[in-house]
Amino acid sequence: MRPHPTSETAKITQALSICITHNLLVLFKAALKRDENIDDTKVSNDYLNKLVVRESKARKAGRIFPQALYVALYRPTEISLQFIRWLRSGLVRSILYNQAIALLRPLMAAYI
C-alpha cells in the first residue's frame, strides 16, 4: 500500500529525495570542477557581489563586516537553474558527454 501524499511518511520520503538529489548535483558539480575545470563562476560572483552590498550596509550602520571571513568560509551549495536545465536536457536527449561539456562551458561562465 502506498502512503497517502500528505502522510508523515510521504513527507519524509519527499524530503529525503530532495536532499539526495541536491547532494548528487553538488557532487557532480565538484567532479566537473576537478575533471573538466568547469566552475559556476556566475554563482560565485553573485555571492561576492552580495558580500560587497552587505559590507556597505554594515559600514553605514557603523559596524564591521568580516568579508574576508565570509570569503574564506564560502562553500557554494547553490545550483543554478541553467545547470539543472543543461543536465536535464543532456539526460533527455542522450547527448554525448563531450558534446554536453562543450555546451555547459558558456552556461557556467555567464547568465545566458
47-73 CB burial, b ≥16 within 10 A, e <16: eeeebeeebeeeeeeeeebeeeeeeee
Q: What pLDDT score was predicted for residue 1?
A: 56
Contacts of 80 (CB under 8 A, 6+ apart): 40, 42, 43, 108
Q: What is the dihedral of CA 14, 16, 19, 22, to 10 degrees?
A: -60
Q: What pLDDT score was predicted for residue 79?
A: 84
10-residue mean pLDDT profile of the chain (112 residues): values are 75 94 91 90 84 92 89 79 90 90 86 66
Q: What pLDDT score was predicted for residue 42?
A: 79
> CA-CA distances (angstroms) from residue 98 to 7, 65, 85, 94, 112?
43, 43, 17, 12, 20
Rounded to two decimals, the pTM is: 0.69
The set of cell numbers assigned to 58 is: 554594515
Q: What pLDDT score was predicted for residue 44?
A: 81
